[in-house]
Structure 1
Amino acid sequence: MAVLYIVSTEAYSGKTGLCLSLGLELLERGFKIGYMKPVGTLPGIVNDKIVDLDAYYILKHLGIEENLEDVSPISLTRKFMHAHLRGEECDCSSVIKKAFDRISKGKDIMLLENGADVNEGRFINAAAFQIAGELNASALFIARFRSELVVDDILAARDLMGDRFLGLVLNQVPSSQRETVDMIIPYLKKKGITTYGILPQDKTLMSVTVGEIADHLNGTILTATEKTNELVENFMVGAMGQEKALRFFQRTANKAVITGGDRADVQLAALETPTKALILTGNMQPSPIVMARAEDLGIPMILVDLDTLHAVEKTDELVGRVRIHQAQKVERFRELVRSNINVDGIIADLGL
């Protein structure tokens, strides 16, 4: 049996998407696969139990039926961490190993996913490099491209993982930076690092749902409440007259428009263009006419208790910090993996 550990040095780098996409590809090729997130970092409640929500989502999409407590045996909740710091220590490596042994029986390959960072969980002896040693896992590192300095993260991860380091996937590469990446890959090859693929920056994968926007802004959805899973790719600010606003909004599709709750003229202009949501600032209720029009068109209006400037700042925080928990994103990530990742090379290097 092979064990592949998807790791990174930061959150939102694409670990869950890569793990799920590789899992679907391996299933399609006839492999019996298992999945585990040894240290859960996105705790939630499912069936009255604390589970990692990323792990729960992957299990559902891969059709794997396992005890959720085995799939993610350690949850880094504040309660757990504080107990450990007070001296109420658990033998975490033993807990993880026993859970792994139970769910890996009969599998050709186990896919493992680490939390935000390869060092996360080090104080409980459950960092990625420690678990990889315990479970005889090979580490596939996924790095989110930001600049040439991504090389530092890759080399640091390789040094930390040591012989467990299998190779690299570079993610979210803008087309404008492809020339830079074409210099980085040969450099890494000279350092003994295999690159299995380069995933381009993609608007669908960087988008955020209407529901996520409302949650992040602590807002209330006033209309079209059934459209919370609609994906927003762009944000625009409406602070001009109606005629200029209409021309301005026509330039961009799949957008959310941020404007004052009292700006009925701007709101109506936005509703007549390809808009996914309206974010109404100042905690001012929109006019009944605008609400009726938004309801007819099926466009959610989100009322927030923020001024426009702070609403813009808060939405900026969401860009690039979203999870792959929507069917559209899963399918898109899988398309990118099929087109850009050497899955056969990964399989061969794992000895499968």
Structure 2
Amino acid sequence: MSSTLLIGSCHPFSGKSALVLGLARQAARMGVPVRFGKPLATSLRLDRRPSPGGDGPTAPLIDDDVRFVGAILGLAPDCLLPSLQLLEPATARQRLLQGDLGSGEGFEALRDHLNAPSEGLTLLEASGSLSEGLLYGLSLVQLAHGLDAPVVLVHHWLDSCSIDPLLQARDQLGERLAGVVLNAVDPDAVETLLQEEVPAMERLGLPVFGVLPRSPLLRSVTVEELVERLGAKVLCCPERLDLLVETLSIGAMNVNSAMEFFRRRRNMAVVTGADRTDIQLAALEASTQCLILTGAGDPLSQLINRAEELDVPLLKVEHDTLTTVEVIERAFGNVRLHESVKATYAIRLVEEHCRFERLFERLRLPISA
């Protein structure tokens, strides 16, 4: 008998795909077939978007997150479920003007497909929040009720104030809320959280399946992502844009202080003025993944040559330093999990810190504890 499980969150970029990977890998290792899909697509490359008014057959609408998870897990193409709608301004405007807030025939087909006799576990990733997708009839709460499926929420936990959205979700989902996974927790707070807050949450009807410590790697962003967000010009090493940036440093101090500071950091993006050649050269000798130059002026050829020798991408932006820093800080923790090294780490993190025996029992899966 097939079981369907919704993976949701109260806020975007809370770690849904990471949890999907961890859950799917555990199920697959125990012999349970896995299917995966996102009823509402939120991430789709431009060349994969359906052409409006096209006469030919429409290709299945497979979200980029679904493709990535499928590739990591080695899922067959027929195990990747097409999305029903694409969340973007054009489709949102069309639905708003039509005034039709229903989920449509596609949802009925999905429900029939999930109810058909089959073996295994179907994981469906909902959109970014409790309300996102209401315009399409595909919000988390609508999916849970329409499919009569249990829900696991993954939720960033800062402190006890973080529980409010979970209580709201509990009230909206009722018994369909199977439990939660707390994510991005301060590593020093994990033990206390497990001993004190987690039992209190259980008493409030919020079963906790795991507490995941905060990870700089999972919050990291590729140099390529920074190039896109900043509209930066790549001055050298364009083949190294897949490097992961975990921390941000600003080169605004004297060179001696900068060198000492840089030595304590790892996998940095260093932002500094285009005229600070001393800081730039010092940054290249540290754990720097990319060097971002702001302000007027061009870098010296000496700097470009040294960056090429060390395979460090050198970027030039039109923004001032403050704006550049703000853009980069917004990127951390707000990018999709589309790198294999992150996926491998996420699977291990879920395996080490989550216990799903209660969930698997509810899903009636043939999985031993």
Aligned partner of 1:52 in structure 2 is 63
Written as runs of structure 1 = structure 2, the 5 A alignment for 1:110-121 is 110-121=122-133
Aligned partner of 2:57 in structure 1 is none
Distance in 1 between residues matched to 2:45 and 2:186, nearest whole Å: 33
Distance in 2 between residues matched to 1:47 and 1:104, nearest whole Å: 29
Which residue identity does 2:10 align to in structure 1? T
Offset at residue 203 of structure 1 (A): 1.1
Q: Indicate whether 1:225 and 2:238 are aligned.
A: yes
Secondary structure (helix, strand or coil) at the match of 1:222 reads strand
Distance in 2 between residues matched to 1:71 and 1:156, nearest whole Å: 30
Aligned 8 A contact 1:93 1:131 in 2: no
Shifted more, 87-96 versus 336-345: the winner is 87-96
Written as runs of structure 1 = structure 2, the 5 A alignment for 1:10-25 is 10-25=11-26
Seen in structure 2, the aligned counterparts of structure 1 residues 215 and 281 have a Cα distance that, compared at 3 Å, is same
Distance in 2 between residues matched to 1:329 and 1:244, nearest whole Å: 32
Shifted more, 89-98 versus 340-349: the winner is 89-98
Aligned partner of 1:237 in structure 2 is 250
Offset at residue 283 of structure 1 (A): 5.1
Which residue identity does 1:308 align to in structure 2? T
Shifted more, 201-210 versus 84-93: the winner is 84-93
Distance in 2 between residues matched to 1:58 and 1:201, nearest whole Å: 21
Aligned partner of 2:136 in structure 1 is 124
Distance in 1 between residues matched to 2:179 and 2:142, nearest whole Å: 18
Which residue identity does 1:208 align to in structure 2? V
Over the matched positions of the two proteins, sequence identity in percent amounts to 30
Distance in 2 between residues matched to 1:134 and 1:175, nearest whole Å: 38
| Structure 2 residues without counterparts, runs of 5 or longer | 51-60
Seen in structure 2, the aligned counterparts of structure 1 residues 185 and 159 have a Cα distance that, compared at 3 Å, is same
Aligned 8 A contact 1:281 1:308 in 2: yes
Aligned partner of 1:339 in structure 2 is 352
Q: Indicate whether 1:207 and 2:220 are aligned.
A: yes
Aligned partner of 2:95 in structure 1 is 84
Seen in structure 2, the aligned counterparts of structure 1 residues 60 and 90 have a Cα distance that, compared at 3 Å, is farther
Seen in structure 2, the aligned counterparts of structure 1 residues 68 and 223 have a Cα distance that, compared at 3 Å, is farther
Q: Indicate whether 1:160 and 2:164 are aligned.
A: no
Aligned partner of 1:143 in structure 2 is 155
Aligned 8 A contact 1:35 1:71 in 2: no
| Alignment partner of 1:254 out of 253, 260, 267 | 267
Offset at residue 320 of structure 1 (A): 2.1
Distance in 2 between residues matched to 1:239 and 1:122, nearest whole Å: 46
Seen in structure 2, the aligned counterparts of structure 1 residues 264 and 341 have a Cα distance that, compared at 3 Å, is same
Secondary structure (helix, strand or coil) at the match of 2:236 reads coil
Secondary structure (helix, strand or coil) at the match of 1:89 reads coil
Shifted more, 297-306 versus 132-141: the winner is 132-141
Q: Indicate whether 1:305 and 2:309 are aligned.
A: no
Distance in 2 between residues matched to 1:97 and 1:60, nearest whole Å: 28
Offset at residue 47 of structure 1 (A): 4.6
Aligned 8 A contact 2:72 2:343 in 1: no
Shifted more, 47-56 versus 308-317: the winner is 47-56
Distance in 1 between residues matched to 2:296 and 2:337, nearest whole Å: 30
Shifted more, 214-223 versus 38-47: the winner is 38-47
Q: Indicate whether 1:324 and 2:325 are aligned.
A: no
Kindly tell me the number of residue pairs found equivalent between the two proteins.
352
TM-score of the pair, normalised by structure 1: 0.93
Distance in 2 between residues matched to 1:69 and 1:30, nearest whole Å: 18
Aligned partner of 2:4 in structure 1 is 3
TM-score of the pair, normalised by structure 2: 0.89
Aligned 8 A contact 2:36 2:80 in 1: no
Aligned partner of 1:62 in structure 2 is 73
